[in-house]
Amino acid sequence: MFFDYLILALVLSAIVVSLLYTFITGISPVSSTSKSRKTIISTISPDQEGCIYELGAGWGAVAFPLARRCPKATVVAYELSPVPWFFLRIRGFFFGPRNVRILRRNFLKDNLSRASLVVCYLYPGAMAKLSSKLVLELKPSARVISNTFEIPVWTPTLVQSLEDVMCPQIFHYRMDSAITGMHQFIELLSSIIV
């Protein structure tokens, strides 16, 4: 009987904490669909090196397969919500490749300048916040892959359409192209204001 109450208390605590972090982060942890995961991972070279950041790693559905595909790279999986982060840690400890680093931190407050590649599945509000941060911090050679949501004002180098209701598009960006698109947008705004 004691263990029944203990399990119930743990489940209820996990639900309450998840709801609290849904409020804090603006979205609940939503996993990428199988089709979008496979598409994203297949577009990344197995020879990819450097630091790959997965922003909002959730349950690790992209981070771990990505680390297996790219053994020369270090995959840094950011997840702020404690419940998915806990499962990420457990999964990483028992089953994960050793080139995954799991962080429970707000990626908007960390320096992302080491990234050779950024992968994310974030809601539009987070993409807007992330846009200027990436422009300021990433190297011109860095790439960004976004599941479902565009980065405002950026020009994608490739848009992959999927027959997937939950994740209909994958957006690919190169920083050198994204910065050019930003400059064009600023020039357009300047001409309208003046």
- The pTM of the full predicted model, rounded to 2 decimals, is 0.83
Which residues span the domain enclosing 63? 28-193
Give the bridge partners for 85, in sequence order.
none
Whether residue 10 is contained in a domain is answered as: no
Q: What is the pLDDT of residues 134-187, one digit of tens each?
A: 988 999 999 999 999 999 889 999 999 999 888 999 999 999 877 666 656 666
* Number of domains observed in the structure of the chain: 1
Parallel/antiparallel/unpaired status of strands 169-174 and 143-147: antiparallel
Whether residue 161 is contained in a domain is answered as: yes
Residue 17: is its pLDDT beyond 70?
A: no
**What's the pLDDT score for residue 19?**
60
Whether residue 17 is contained in a domain is answered as: no
**What's the pLDDT score for residue 30?**
73
Q: Tokens at residue 100, please?
A: 């995954």
H-helix or E-strand containing 194? none
Q: What is the rounded average pLDDT for all residues in the chain?
A: 87
Residue 84: is its pLDDT beyond 70?
A: yes
Whether residue 140 is contained in a domain is answered as: yes
CATH number of the domain within which 88 lies? 3.40.50.150
Residue 117: is its pLDDT beyond 60?
A: yes
Query: Order of strands, edge to edge, in the sheet holding 115-120?
Result: 100-103, 73-78, 50-55, 115-120, 143-147, 169-174, 158-161
Whether residue 13 is contained in a domain is answered as: no
Q: In the structure, how many helices (H) and strands (E) does the chain have?
A: 6, 7
Q: What is the DSSP letter of 2?
A: H
Whether residue 3 is contained in a domain is answered as: no
Whether residue 182 is contained in a domain is answered as: yes
Residues 6 or more apart from 56 whose CB is under 8 A from it? 29, 78, 79, 80, 107, 120, 121, 122, 126
CA atoms within 13 A on the CB side of 28: 7
Whether residue 85 is contained in a domain is answered as: yes
